[in-house]
Amino acid sequence: DAGVIQSPRHEVTEMGQEVTLRCKPISGHNSLFWYRQTMMRGLELLIYFNNNVPIDDSGMPEDRFSAKMPNASFSTLKIQPSEPRDSAVYFCASSPMDRAEETQYFGPGTRLLVL
Amino acid sequence: SQKIEQNSEALNIQEGKTATLTCNYTNYSPAYLQWYRQDPGRGPVFLLLIRENEKEKRKERLKVTFDTTLKQSLFHITASQPADSATYLCALGSNYGQNFVFGPGTRLSVLP
């Protein structure tokens, strides 16, 4: 299995532009998580899907952020409009969630820089 | 609000010694606790899980303890090696991924 796939790996954009991050979870996993990691705030959970349905989006910072999971093999995180403070590494993780405490498998991350 | 602390931002130890990392939490009653390893430029990788009704778990050179009274987990790496140098994150969760929260991490450096 290729593991969790994220694209792009690096993104540089200018303030005000729309940014779309993509994630392909591990086949057969029914839960998907989006995280943001910065030096100041560490690893923060943004949103969590189970069977393609958003379960907890309380970590989404504001209306500029939106996430979708149209099917079991694809998810997007969109920032519109982007701001310099959105610069961070964004991770996608998936989990089979067959058990109550299932582990998460992380992708390599997308390093976003907003100028 | 929930708070997770990990003993120190960075920890340096000599090769061959035992590294002990601490994870403390407040305002939370987790069903389980996990430890992850993160190398620079990569995503976290799962190492060990311990449930609220378990006191200790071992895997090769790794050992985790969980004290729900003290609200603390200890993570030990015995016979440490330079290859163990990484950032170690603890994470707490309720059942089925609810309320899943990571600690800030401890950067471990094992010196040859």
| Residues comprising chain A, all counted | 115
Ranges assigned E (strand) in B1-112 = 3-6, 10-14, 19-26, 32-38, 45-51, 56-59, 62-67, 72-77, 86-93, 101-102, 106-111
Chains A, B: CB contacts under 8 A, how many? 59
Q: Which amino acid is at B6?
A: Q
Residue-level length of chain B: 112
What's the confidence (pLDDT) of residue A100?
57
What are the Cα distances from residue A13, in Å, to A19, A87, A114?
A: 8, 10, 5
Q: What is the pLDDT along chain B (112 residues), one digit of tens a residue?
A: 778 999 778 899 999 999 999 999 999 889 899 999 999 999 999 999 999 999 999 999 999 999 999 999 999 999 999 999 999 999 998 876 667 889 999 999 999 9
**Model confidence pLDDT, tens digit, residues A34-57:** 999 998 889 999 998 989 999 888
Contacts of A4 in chain B (CB under 8 A): 43
Chain A residues within 8 A of B41 when measuring between CB atoms:
109
